[in-house]
């Protein structure tokens, strides 16, 4: 299966292999401290094997568990002098991984959290208390019903159930 994603310019799309080829492995997106990818601080990566190239250059990119470390901050896209957008590929790889049932368990938990409440973060009693202290309205999980219907209608919920079954 060829992975093709939209690119920075309208009507431009590249395969992962093409993107990996236009990436010159200059390392700028990962080694300029304070401005580059924060995942690079992980000991597993270094100047010779940067996080971005670990994602773009893997043998089975969608099967690489490291694609789930990216937090979609867009720093790599902004700093790359050659207009390569590693983030777009990482996002496309995650979509491909999801289709293969390879979603990371932490991400699976986040997806379930969003579907059940409409919020990406747990709605804790302390958050509710803090909102009250600040004079903010209580959070209402009103979007959950609608999200649930969308997830069922699009087959997303069925796919999630299959993945959960397979992951045990």
Alpha-carbon distance values, 73 to 35, 36, 76, 126, 136 (Å): 11, 10, 8, 27, 28
Q: Does 70 bind ligand SF4 (CB under 6 A)?
A: yes
Which lies closer to ligand SF4 via its Cβ, residue 17 or residue 158? Answer: 17
Identified binder of ligand SF4 from the candidate list 39, 93, 97, 147, rule CB under 6 A: 39
Q: Does 32 bind ligand SF4 (CB under 6 A)?
A: no
Q: Please, are residues 21 and 15 in contact by the beta-carbon 8 Å criterion?
A: no
Smallest gap from residue 11 Cβ to ligand SF4 (A)? 21
Smallest gap from residue 4 Cβ to ligand SF4 (A)? 18
Distance CA 155, CA 58 (A): 29
Q: Does 26 bind ligand SF4 (CB under 6 A)?
A: yes
Residue of 71, 68, 35 lying closest to 54 (CA atoms) = 68
Site residues for ligand SF4, window 77-96 (CB under 6 A)? 80, 82, 84, 86-87, 90
Q: Please, are residues 1 and 96 in contact by the beta-carbon 8 Å criterion?
A: yes
DSSP letters, 82-139, are T---HHHHHHHHHHHHHHTT---HHHHHHHHHHHHHS-SS---HHHHHHHHHTTPPPP
Which lies closer to ligand SF4 via its Cβ, residue 70 or residue 163? Answer: 70
Stretch that binds ligand SF4, among 9-17, 73-81, 93-101, 108-116 (CB under 6 A): 73-81
Which lies closer to ligand SF4 via its Cβ, residue 67 or residue 160? Answer: 67
Residues near ligand SF4 (CB under 6 A): 23-29, 37-39, 52, 70-76, 80, 82, 84, 86-87, 90
């Amino acid at each position: 299966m060829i992975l093709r994603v939209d690119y920075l310019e309208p009507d431009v799309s590249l395969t992962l292999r093409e993107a990996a080829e236009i990436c010159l492995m200059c390392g700028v997106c990962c080694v300029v401290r304070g401005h580059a990818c924060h995942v690079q601080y992980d000991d597993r990566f270094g100047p010779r094997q940067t996080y971005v190239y670990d994602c773009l250059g893997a043998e089975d990119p969608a099967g690489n568990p490291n694609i789930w470390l990216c937090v979609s901050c867009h720093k790599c896209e902004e700093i790359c002098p050659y207009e390569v957008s590693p983030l777009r590929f990482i996002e496309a790889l995650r979509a491909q991984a999801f289709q293969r049932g390879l979603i990371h368990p932490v991400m699976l938990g986040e997806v379930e959290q969003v579907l059940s409440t409409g919020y990406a973060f747990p709605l804790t009693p302390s958050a509710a208390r803090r909102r009250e202290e600040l004079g903010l309205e209580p959070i209402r999980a009103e979007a959950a019903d609608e999200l649930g219907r969308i997830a069922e209608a699009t087959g997303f919920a069925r796919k999630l159930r299959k993945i959960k079954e397979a992951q045990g």
